[in-house]
């Protein structure tokens, strides 16, 4: 049984597949995905992941709105969220961190940095 639950809210199937492949190397992590903000919020409330990876540009809500909704709900308020975005300007990163994101990872995903970041947030168990 996996030690960690990881939720990735992402509308781009290619990005979701890349993360799925990277996470598959960790038997101690169960990954679930959502394609938009509303379904991601519902899944987070029901499933209570240990970490949420959150695309900043979803079809229905932006990452800031999803992060805020998670923070306002008692069942999800303590779940750390990491922003994933192709927007890599310093002001984008600063805004996300100021809004309560635990970290900001840029796309395209750097595989080594992703694995390192995941290991820091979800240390190997199992």
Assigned domain for 126 exists: no
Q: What is the CATH number of the domain that holds 103?
A: 3.40.50.2300
Domain assignment present for 10: yes
**In the predicted structure, residue 122 carries a pLDDT above the cut 70:** yes
| 38 in a structural domain | yes
Is residue 82 predicted with pLDDT exceeding 80? yes
- Structural domain contains residue 30: yes
Domain that holds residue 90: 4-121
Q: Express each pLDDT in 36-81 by its tens digit.
A: 999 999 999 999 999 999 999 999 999 999 999 999 999 999 999 9
Concatenating the DSSP letter of every residue in 53-98 gives: EEESB-SSSBHHHHHHHHHHSTTTTT--EEEEES---HHHHHHHHH
- How many domains, in total, are found in the chain? 1
- Nearest to residue 79, comparing CAs of 3, 9, 15, 6? 6
């Amino acid at each position: 049984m996996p030690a960690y639950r990881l939720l990735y809210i992402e509308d781009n199937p290619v990005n979701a597949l890349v993360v799925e492949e990277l996470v598959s190397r960790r038997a101690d992590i169960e990954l679930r995905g959502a394609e938009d903000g509303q379904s991601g919020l519902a899944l987070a409330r029901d499933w209570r992941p240990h970490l949420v990876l959150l695309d900043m540009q979803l079809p229905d809500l932006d990452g800031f709105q999803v992060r805020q909704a998670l923070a306002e709900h008692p069942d999800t308020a303590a779940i750390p969220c990491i922003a994933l975005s192709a927007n890599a300007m310093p002001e984008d990163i600063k805004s996300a961190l100021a809004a309560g994101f635990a970290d900001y990872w840029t796309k395209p995903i750097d595989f080594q940095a992703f694995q390192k970041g995941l290991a820091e947030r979800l240390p190997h168990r199992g």
